[in-house]
Amino acid sequence: MRFSRFFVCFFLLISLTGFQETSNYQNELEALERQAMDCKEQQAAQVSQSLQEIRKEILKDMESVLNKADLNDIELKELKEKKSVTHHSYERLKKQMALYLMQEQSMYPYCLEGRILNEGKDLQTLYMHQKQLEEKCSQKEKRKVQFQLEIQNLQAYDKRVDKAQNTLKERFQRTDGYDQPVHGQHDPQKTIQGLQDLPVFGSIHSTKNDSHFSCLAQDASITSTSPYWGKVSDQGYISAGTWSYPHGGMHLGMDLALALYSNIYAPANGIVLYADTSYNSNDGYLGNMEGWPYGGGNTLCVIVSIQEKLYALTFAHLSNTIYVAPGQQFSQGDVLALSGNSGNSTGGHTHIEVFELHASLEQEVSYFQQGADFSFGCGWDAPHTQSIWATRIRPEEVITG
Ligand SMILES: [Zn+2]
C-alpha cells in the first residue's frame, strides 16, 4: 500500500512535468510565429535558427514519447497475456468446483469439504489476481491514449514550426539555397582527385548496395550514355521552381520538397565530382551558411551522360548520408544520397541545379578541380546564364519529381 502511494506521486510528477513542457512550446512558439510575421530582414536568420532549435527539442520529445509508448505497448501486451492465462485458470477451477458441488451427495463428505475449502481459496486468489491485472491493463490503456495525444500535440507544434519557417522564406526570398555571392572555401578532399582514373562514359558500373567505393567496369560493353532522364525522387513535389520563387525573387534552381531521408536517385549514368557530408542532416535554418557552396549544407555535384550529352547536376541541403564518393561512377537509378535539411534551408527539401555542359568530360573535370565551381562558370547573379563550360538550364525541363 505504501508503495502504491509512492507511485501515484511519481505519476503525478511526470504528468506535471509533461504539462509544463507543452505550455513552454506554446508560449515560445507563439512569440516566434509573431516574429516570423513581422520581423525585419536582419532578424530573419535569428528567428529561423530559434525555430530550428525548437524543432530539435520537439523531435527529441517526440522520440522519447514514442519510446515510452512502445514500452507501454509491450507491457500492455504482456499483461493481457497474463490476464488471459489467469482468466482461463479461474474458469477451469470454477467449473471443477461446480462439478464437486453437484457430486457432493455421492462423495465422501469430509474429504470433499476440505478440497472445496482449499480450492475455494485458490479460486478467490485467482479472482483477485484477475481483477488486479484488469486494473493494470486499463491504466496502460489510458497511458496509451495519453501518449497518442502527446504525439499529436508534438506533431501539431512541428507543423507550426514548418509554417513559420515558410513564412520567413516567403517574406525574405533571396536567402534560400546559395543564390547569392559565393563565400567560404571548398574542400579539395571532397573533390574528385586525379584525371588518370577518369573513365570514358561506357565504363560505368552499377554501384547499387555498394557505397563509397569506385567500381570501374569489367565489361566495356555496358551502355555508356543513358537513353533518357530518370527520376530523382519518389514522392517529391516542386515547392519552388526556377528562376524565381513563387512570390518573386531570383531562384537559380528547383526545390523539391521531400520528407527527411528520402532517396535521391541518379537520373542517368555518371560520375561524382564533389560530395560533402560534414554537416548535420537536419540543422537547416535561414541564414545557416554552412557548406560549399556557401549555405548549401551537405552538397553533391555529379556529371551525367544522356544521349551522348553531358550535364552537371548539383544537389544541396542533403542529409549527411551520401552513398557516393568523389570519383565514383554510378548508374541510372542508383541511390546517390538521402535528402535532408542542412545549411540555409527552412525544412526538408533538396535544391537542384542543372547545367548543360559544352566541353569534354576531362576538360570539365579539370576546370572543376581548380575551385569546385558549382556554377560551372555561370555565376550566381542571373538566370539563363552561360559560360564556355556550361549553360544553366531549368531543372523542371528535364527532371520530373
Ligand atoms: Zn532552392
User: In angstroms, rounded to a whole number, what is the distance separating the alpha carbons of residues 267 and 269?
Assistant: 7
Distance 161 CA to ligand 1 centre (A): 19
- SS3 at position 158: helix
Domain range for 64 is: 2-171
Taking residue 100's Cβ as centre, other Cβ atoms within 10 Å add up to: 15
C-alpha of residue 252 to centroid of ligand 1, in Å: 7
Distance between Cα 376 and ligand 1 center (Å): 18
For residue 168, report the distance from its CA to the centre of ligand 1, in Å: 14
Say whether both 290 and 155 belong to one domain.
Answer: no
| 354 bridge partner residues | 313, 393
Backbone φ and ψ for 285, nearest 5 degrees, come out as -160, 160
Together in a domain, 158 and 102: yes
The whole-number pLDDT of residue 154 equals 94
Please say which residue of 108, 142, 171 terminates a domain: 171
The verdict on 328 and 207 lying in the same domain is yes
Q: What is the pTM of this model?
A: 0.69
Measured CA to CA, the distance from residue 380 to residue 377 in angstroms comes to: 9
**121 and 198 inside one domain:** no
Residues 210, 354 within the same domain: yes
CA of 316 to the centre of ligand 1 (A): 8
CA of 347 to the centre of ligand 1 (A): 11
User: How many whole angstroms from 355 Cα to the centroid of ligand 1?
Assistant: 15
Residue 106 sits in the same domain as residue 187: no
Interval between CA 177 and ligand 1 midpoint (Å): 5
- How much distance in Å is there from the Cα of 400 to the middle of ligand 1? 16
Of 231, 324, 318, 234, the residue nearest 270 (C-alpha): 324
Spacing, Cα 374 to ligand 1 middle (Å): 14
Q: What is the DSSP string of 294-339?
A: TT-BEEEEEEEEETTEEEEEEEEEEEEEE---TT-EE-TT-EEEEE
Q: How far is the CA of 11 from the centre of ligand 1 (A)?
A: 47
Element (H, E) at 349: strand 349-357
Name the domain count of the chain: 2
* Residues whose Cβ atom is located within 5 A of ion ligand 1: 176-177, 253, 255, 351
- Closest to 291 (Cα-Cα) out of 178, 379, 168, 172: 178
- Is the domain of 133 the same as that of 240? no
Compute the distance from residue 50 Cα to the ligand 1 centre, in Å: 21
Which of 126, 151, 171 is the C-terminal boundary of a domain?
171
Quote the ligand 1 centre to 176 CA distance (angstroms).
6
Q: Give residue 47's pLDDT.
A: 92
Grid cell, residue 339, equals 535528402
Centre of ligand 1 from the C-alpha of residue 238, in Å: 10
What CATH number corresponds to the domain at position 298?
2.70.70.10
CATH number at residue 133: 1.10.287
Contacts 24+ apart (CB under 8 A), 238-244: 238/396, 239/349, 240/176, 241/394, 241/396, 242/383, 242/394, 242/395, 242/396, 243/383, 243/384, 243/394, 244/383
pLDDT in tens for each of the 401 residues of the chain?
444 444 444 444 444 444 444 557 899 999 999 999 999 888 888 899 999 999 999 999 999 999 999 999 999 999 999 999 999 999 998 888 878 777 765 656 666 666 677 777 888 899 999 999 999 999 999 999 999 999 999 999 999 998 998 888 878 765 444 545 456 678 888 888 877 666 665 445 544 444 333 333 333 333 467 788 999 999 777 877 777 776 667 788 888 999 999 999 999 888 899 999 999 999 998 888 889 988 899 999 999 988 888 999 999 999 999 998 888 888 888 899 999 999 988 889 999 999 999 998 888 999 999 889 999 999 888 888 899 999 999 998 888 75
Strands 309-322 and 250-251 come out as: unpaired
